[in-house]
Amino acid sequence: MGAYTDGRRRLTRYLHRLTLAGLGLMSTPVITFGNVFETDDRRPVTQEDQLDFVGVIACQNTGRLPTASLIALPDRYRERTFEILLTVAHAFYTPQGKMWNDCHFQKEGEPTKAAPITGLIVGTTTPGQGWSEDWAVARIGTRMTDHEPTPQLTSSHPNLPHAPHLSSARPSPAIVRFEELMAMRRTGGTVLLVGHNGEQMPLLLSSDCGPRRKTSGHYNLQDNRVFNHDCDMMAGWSGGPLLLRHQGKTLLIGINATEYNSVVHQQGWPFDGRFNPNTAIRINQEILKAIETLADNDNQPTPQAPLRLCESRNGTTC
């Protein structure tokens, strides 16, 4: 009887640890209940990673904390009084279309570095019905500083919007074709994803990963709006930036969306595009237009102004 009781206690403790891991309540990265391929390489972000532009979205009446990223803007916005960030639409909407209120961006995931979101353009207001359009461009009604002054670089990439001068620290959103990406990786480019486990800090990164080629039988084969990728992640990584670093530049090439198969999470298995890809929404012309619309909006809101929704399906007008 004693052995039976001890066995039940051990099983209960084990199941409790799995539950905590799945909710992101353990202090170290874990592989439970997440799409983690082969070796789990997630680790806490350090200052040396130069990722202080990443943070989380916190809205009133919800404990959810989707990931988000500030972006670089062209030199003509040098004197701006705002910032622009990219994340997922479900940071602001329930799957059924109910909008969260009083949302803030917490830089580096720290509540003491919170700034109110005052403008928003989304790909969909019902992310539960169209996750391939589950992107959001948001405007913060104040400037946010980085750890270090950021030198200006000249961009040579043809798809960067209005980009004669871009920050070397914050990422520049860019449309990058898969073959371009592979060519840059062959010449020293690296891809990484930033997020966090569940609704808990710290921010983590997954490196030595990235978009995978889609072949016959793979999920999303005909959907050019998304990358299938093998960066390690779990709940909480939605909205995180998929970054490409190459020759001193940081490009934001995708917005992390979801694990495609959310029913059966993989732990330590090889990536299989037919069954378990993680996915990211690719930067596209609509997203670039939304960035420009929010940045050029003449009716600049005050930091205390309520969040305003711009309908991207109706000409991205505010």
Collapsing DSSP states into helix, strand and coil, what is residue 124?
Answer: coil
Total count of residues recorded for the chain: 318
pLDDT at residue number 21: 39
pLDDT at residue number 268: 67
Q: What is the spatial distance between Cα 52 and Cα 54, in angstroms, rounded to a whole number? A: 5
C-alpha distances out from residue 217 to 90, 229, 275, Å: 28, 16, 9
Look at 21-30, 131-140, 220-229, 267-276 and tell me which has the smallest mean pLDDT: 21-30
CB-based contact 283:307 (threshold 8 Å): no
Confidence grade of residue 297 (pLDDT, cut at 50, 70, 90): confident
Gyration radius of the chain's alpha carbons = 20
Residue 260 has pLDDT above 90, yes or no: no
Domains of the chain with bracketed CATH: 36-310 (2.40.10.120)
Across the chain, where does the E strand assignment appear? 36-37, 43-44, 54-60, 67-70, 83-87, 101-107, 114-122, 136-140, 152-153, 166-167, 172-173, 190-195, 204-207, 211-212, 226-229, 241-246, 249-259, 267-269, 278-282, 308-311
Q: What is the mean pLDDT of the segment spanning 221-230?
A: 80
pLDDT at residue number 130: 74
Query: Residue 287's closest CA among 277, 295, 298, 279?
Result: 295
Burial-class residue 304 by CB neighbours within 10 Å (0-12, 13-18, 19+).
exposed
C-alpha distances out from residue 242 to 126, 303, 307, Å: 23, 28, 26
Would the pTM count as exceeding 0.85? no
Q: What is the spatial distance between Cα 59 and Cα 67, in angstroms, rounded to a whole number? A: 12
pLDDT at residue number 39: 75
pLDDT tens column, 9-49: 333 333 333 333 343 333 333 333 457 777 788 899 999 99
Query: Residue 50's closest CA among 167, 185, 144, 173?
Result: 167
Confidence grade of residue 273 (pLDDT, cut at 50, 70, 90): low
DSSP 129: G
pLDDT tens column, 61-92: 888 899 999 999 999 999 999 999 999 999 99
Name the residue type at position 255: I
Question: Which has more pLDDT, 29 or 301?
Answer: 301
